[in-house]
Amino acid sequence: MMHADAERSLNARVALVTGGSRGVGRAVCEALAGHGADVAFTYRKNVAEAEQVLLAIEATGVRALAIQASIDSAEDNERTVAGVREALGDIDILVNNAGIVSGGKSVGDTPIPEFRRLMEVHAIGPAHLCQLVLPGMRSSPGGDIVMISSTAAVDFEALAGPYSMAKCAEEALAYTLAHEEQSSGIRVNVVAPGLIDTDMGRRLIAARPDDFTELPSSPQHIAAVILALLNAPELSGARVVVAEGRATIDGRALDLLQV
């Protein structure tokens, strides 16, 4: 995997990042733009935050587009991809980052609609976006899809059933796509962070300090790993775990990557 100080250029590539107005999504948008990609991103509610990210992307000299949309809406996904194609061209890089957490109840006490909602956001919505971008990626020299999963997909902590289930489904989608699209030159990889220093991560620590004692990774750590994956043509179907600022594949530690 490419070292942090190696030259990276994503010039002429078009990226779509879901949930790009804050936290990990914002870091990914700014990192991609900083290395030459035109960047579109979705956001749900906060227009002011989205405008800040839009300005930060444009300041790097690339094209930018912000789209208000919800990943669990098929109509929004179709409108998003059509809008990106019209404004920027076919999508070369898709980062499925948008996500929500579950309510912190036991499986026995969790309302069934919550299970459905988590699956829609983390698995079904990303699957739909993948379907929408695949034709354009197949007609180009290649494409990259990155799923932002979580260590919850293997840790299976109590009181996080809907979230863990949805992240498992998201990873299953990634590995299946990696096999199916290998001949198309489309690479699909998973980045699975542990605790991250974001608003969501800080809320988890405040609510359950005894359960979250690890050192959080920064959003920039996650963005650096994604950049490295985009420059590792031999990797598809890989799962990169990012915890306490370190990245590992199959238990093998990688050098800390910075943007």
Report, as residue numbers or ranges, the catalytic residues.
163
Sheet with 93-96: list strands edge to edge: 64-68, 38-43, 14-17, 93-96, 143-148, 186-193, 239-243, 246-249, 252-254
Distance CA 108, CA 206 (A): 25
Distance CA 161, CA 104 (A): 8
Q: List CB contacts of 92: < 8 A, sequence separation 6 or more.
A: 13, 14, 15, 37, 137, 140, 142, 143, 144
Kindly state the helix (H) or strand (E) to which residue 87 belongs, with its residue range.
helix 74-87
User: Measuring CA to CA, which residue among 176, 180, 179, 181 is closest to residue 142?
Assistant: 181
User: Measuring CA to CA, which residue among 130, 61, 93 is closest to residue 223?
Assistant: 93
Is the CB of residue 153 less than 8 Å from the CB of residue 161? no
Count of C-beta atoms within a 10 Å radius of residue 155 = 12
- What is the residue type of 3? H
The tokens of 19 are what?
Answer: 């949930």
Kindly list the distances between the CA atom of residue 182 and the CA atoms of 95, 145, 155, 173, 176, in Å, as whole numbers in the listed order: 18, 12, 29, 14, 10
